Structure 1
C-alpha cells in the first residue's frame, strides 16, 4: 500500500492518474495522509474507477456537485465512478489517514455486458443520484460494511491467492452497498449529470491555464453560454470560473516549485499568474508562505512510503 501526499493528472484527459493501475489488474490500494498533502487539500478531480475508503484517523470533508459530507475516524464510504469530487481535512495539526481501495468496476463485474455487471454493478455506477455512499459506525447495518472494509485492508499481496481473496472481499462489500442503496435507487432520478457538462470546461482550463482565459472564450470553446458557464461552476464546484482558473494555476505553480528549479518569475509567467509580485501575493494568500519558502519545504520531498 503506497503512501500518497498529492495527486497527478493524465495529460490527455485530465483525469486522476493512478500509478500501478494495470489492465490485467485494475486495482490499487493507497494510504492518503491528508495532513501531509502539499496543497492542504485534494483538488477537484474525477476517475472512472470507484473509490472505497475508510477513515483511520482524523476527519475529512468530501465535496461533490450535490454538496458536502463529513467523515470522521471510523467512518467510510464510496465515491461513484466518474464523479467530480474534492476532499480536505477538517482538523488542523492532527494526523489524518485515509485507506483507499480504488478499482475499476470491471474488477468485480468481469467481462463487459456480463450478467454480474448488469445485475449488480450498473445499478450503482449508472445512478446519477449516488455520488457518494456514506457509512457511519452508529448505524448497525453500515457498521457491518465498515467492518468488512476495514478487514479487507489486512489482505497482503504476498498472501497465497491474494487477487482472488481481494476480489471476493470487494464483491461482498459491493453487494452490501447495493442492499443499502436500494431505497434510493428506487426513487426517481432527480439529479442531472451536471458534472459531465462542466468537465469539458475544466479540461479547457487545464489545457490553457498558461494563457489569458476570458469567460467568453471558455464558454465558446465548450459550446455554452457565459450564463451557463457561471451556473455550472456555481452549482458543481461552488465557485466562479475565475476562482477555479486561479486555483488551478496555483496548483500548477505548486507542482513546478516542488519538482523543478526554474526561477519563481518564470513559474509565475508559465502558470498565467503574471508578475512575480502578484504571484507572490496570491500564493501567500493561498498557502500561507512565499513561493521560495514553499519550494524549500517540498523540494526533494519523498512522497512514497508505507502506512
Structure 2
C-alpha cells in the first residue's frame, strides 16, 4: 500500500486498493491544495490524521479543532469535515479506514461493544495530543506507520496490528456519551448537509442556484443558509466557489487540458472572470499556477 496525495470527491468514494482490507493512506500537502483548504466533504470511513509539520484547523460537524504539529485528530464515519492550513508547509499523514475492518473482527470474537463509537458515530471528532501516555502512544504509532515502507514484508499485517492498537487506545480516551438519546435536530441538519454537499459535488460544473441547493435536501433557502453557517461557517455560494477553485487547481496540476476547457468544466462561463477570481486567491493566473507546479 502506497502513500498517495490526497484527493477529494463528492460523498468521497474512496477506492481502496484491497477491498478485503479497506485501509488507505494519504499525504495531505496543504500548500498544493486550493488556498491550503480541503473543502467540506464526508465519507463512510473513519479518519485519523497526524500533522507532521505546520498546523491545521478542522471543522467537523460544525465544531472547530486546531491540530498542531505532532498532534492528531480522529474523525468519525459520515462526519462532515473540512480542513485548512494555519501556516505554510503544513503536511499531514492521513489514515482512512472503512469501519467494517474493525466491526467484522470484533463480531467474530463476540466483542461488538468495542465498535459502538463507529456505529453510534460518537464522538464525531477527538483531538489526540501527547499530553497523556495513551495519546503519546497513539502518535508514536502513527509516526511509525508513516515511516514504514509499504513494500515491507506483510505490510498489511503491520497496519492491522497497529490500527487495532490505536483503536484500543482511542476507546480508553473517548468520553462517555452524555446521553443515550441522540440529538435528533443535529443529526437531521448533518443529513441535510450531506445531501447538499453531494448535490454541489455532482453538479458544480453547471449553473447552480441557492434554491436548487436547498431543494436537494428538501428545505427552504433560509434553512440552507443556516445549515452551511452552522456546519461549514460559510455561505452556500462561498462553498460552491471554494469547491470550484479546488477542482480547478486539481485539473491544472493533474491534466494537460486547455485552461479555457478547465474554466468551463468547473462551472465558470467566462474565462476572464475565472482568471480574475483565481488571481484573487493565488496571486497568479491559472497559467502561472500550472507552470509553478510543474516539476
Tell me the TM-score normalized by structure 2: 0.86
CA 1:180/1:262 → structure 2, altered by over 3 Å: closer, same or farther?
Answer: closer
Q: Is the 8 Å Cα contact of residues 15 and 47 (structure 1) preserved in structure 2?
A: yes
User: For the aligned residues, what is the CA RMSD?
Assistant: 2.7
**Deviation of the 1:157 alpha carbon:** 4.0
CA 1:291/1:105 → structure 2, altered by over 3 Å: closer, same or farther?
Answer: same
- Any idea what the Cα deviations from partners look like across 1:131-150, whole Å, max 9, x if unmatched? 21111112333223323333
Distance between the aligned counterparts of 2:175 and 2:133, measured in 1? 17
Match of 1:7 in 2: 7
Is 28-37 or 223-232 further displaced after alignment?
A: 28-37
**Deviation of the 1:30 alpha carbon:** 2.8
Distance between the aligned counterparts of 1:263 and 1:152, measured in 2? 39
User: 1:72 aligned to 2:68?
Assistant: yes
CA 1:298/1:155 → structure 2, altered by over 3 Å: closer, same or farther?
Answer: closer
Distance between the aligned counterparts of 2:12 and 2:160, measured in 1? 23
User: 1:294 aligned to 2:293?
Assistant: no
Q: Is the 8 Å Cα contact of residues 16 and 45 (structure 1) preserved in structure 2?
A: yes
**Deviation of the 1:293 alpha carbon:** 0.9
CA 1:199/1:164 → structure 2, altered by over 3 Å: closer, same or farther?
Answer: same
Tell me the TM-score normalized by structure 1: 0.83
Long gaps (5+) in structure 1: 302-307
Distance between the aligned counterparts of 1:40 and 1:108, measured in 2? 32
Distance between the aligned counterparts of 1:36 and 1:224, measured in 2? 35
**Deviation of the 1:23 alpha carbon:** 1.2
Match of 2:159 in 1: 166
Please point out which of 139, 148, 161 is paired with 2:141. 148
Distance between the aligned counterparts of 2:40 and 2:7, measured in 1? 11
Q: Is the 8 Å Cα contact of residues 6 and 38 (structure 1) preserved in structure 2?
A: no
Long gaps (5+) in structure 2: none
Match of 2:86 in 1: 90
User: 1:282 aligned to 2:294?
Assistant: no
For the residue of structure 2 that corresponds to 1:51, the secondary structure is strand
CA 1:277/1:117 → structure 2, altered by over 3 Å: closer, same or farther?
Answer: farther
CA 1:2/1:38 → structure 2, altered by over 3 Å: closer, same or farther?
Answer: farther
Distance between the aligned counterparts of 1:164 and 1:110, measured in 2? 16
